[in-house]
Amino acid sequence: MVLRRECTARQLRLAVELRRLRDAAGLSAIEAAALLGVNRVQISHIESGLAGVSEERLRRLAAHYSCTDEAFIDALVVMATDRTRGWWEEYRGLLPTAFLDLAELEYHATYRRDVEFLFIPGLLQTEDYARAAFSSRVPELPPAELDLRVRHRMQRKVILESLAPYQAVIHEAALRIRVGDRATARAQLTRVLELSEADHISVSVIPFDLDGFGGAWSPMMLAGATVPKLDTAVRDAPHGTGFIDSEAQLGVFRTVFRRVVDVSLDPGKSRDLIHRLAKEL
């Protein structure tokens, strides 16, 4: 068994789900190993993401774990057997792993939802806006890495062409804050308006004059999977990007997103507000 030196977030998610299934069945790693005719260390490697698992072995484990959710098992099989090496692989070793994991997550997502308060969501950013945003980072990025991050962010936008539903909720503050100069801000708002006209893209604005708004705490993202159990939430924090996959936490994020959408302007009124803000520039 050849071990991976580094596993992706997608590979780790598969490993976590297999461990959850075993725990739910009340079986030990030794018992699971006996079912496959391997040793406990091999099960440990599979459940840590350091080793892959074949479709045949995965289905055997699921059967022994008494998992009857066929759609869920099929989704796990796809994760286990997928050999996609996407465009993001060209950045491996050049950018932090979280950048690659995010691009891979988006590539496989059935839908994408964003909530932003201070910045325009990355998928909607223009190149000038993204460069200005990355340039404000502390400590300052070397020019070469700055260029890589901007190029990576621009390439991520290819998922907007896939026609998978994309929904962004943006606070008015993010629309008004000038990340870069006046021309950059105007071009950015114009770009948001252009993208929002697509049938599969929805943009809603949380206005300043909303009473008692406390519906969210920080930027968040939801990426849908082929089955809800495999959805993922993403949170950005000063210490790094966090991928959240527990059922309880996902339920919280789904609820928060619904509440944020409920208090935001509808897409038509949101476009009117963005258009007015662009004209003021």
Q: How confident is the model at residue 214 (pLDDT cuts 50, 70, 90)?
A: low
Q: What is the mean pLDDT of residues 19-43?
A: 95
> What pTM does this model have?
0.92
CA distance 37 to 165: 44
The pLDDT of residue 2: 73
Of residues 166, 173, 172, the one with CA closest to residue 269: 172
Stated length of the chain: 281
- Average pLDDT of the chain is 93
DSSP 45-67: HHHTTSS---HHHHHHHHHHTT-
| Residues contacting residue 55 through CB under 8 Å, at least 6 positions apart | 77, 80, 81
The pLDDT of residue 119: 95
Residue pLDDT, tens place only, 104-157? 999 999 999 999 999 999 999 999 999 999 998 888 999 999 999 999 999 999
Of residues 215, 192, 211, 167, the one with CA closest to residue 273: 192
Percent of the chain with pLDDT over 70: 96
> Is the predicted pLDDT of residue 215 greater than 80, yes or no?
no
CA distance 89 to 71: 29
Domains recognised in the chain with CATH numbers: 9-81 (1.10.260.40), 89-280 (3.30.870)
